[in-house]
Amino acid sequence: MSTGDPKVSTDSTGLPQASRRLWRMRRLHHYVDAELSATEAGGIELTYAYNGQLTYRRTWPSREQALAEASAKRAQLERDGWMFHW
């Protein structure tokens, strides 16, 4: 997957080096964002931010593992009353 912009470098999974937001959940004027980014070591970093403040960061060896964790977290937030908001 290419961005088409030669200035934007991508890793082997097609993710741009800059973060890519997966989802945003909102509840009572607060929000949680999940973002993926490629690391220089070849891993995939998953981060969560609460109201724009970094609260969690973990590097996974594969994109699929990072997406599985993000999906589980989103399901947990939805059970707790958070709503999807792009």
The full set of domain ranges for the chain reads 20-81
Q: Mind listing the pLDDT tens digit for each residue in 29-48?
A: 999 999 999 998 999 999 99
- pLDDT of 14 above 60: no
Residues 6+ apart with CB under 8 A from 23: 33, 34, 70, 74, 84, 86
Using one digit for the tens of pLDDT, what is the confidence trace for 18-30? 679 999 999 999 9
Residue burial 50-80, b: 16+ Cβ < 10 Å; e: rest: eeeeeeeeebbeebeebbeebeebbeebeee
Q: Is the pLDDT of residue 7 over 50?
A: no
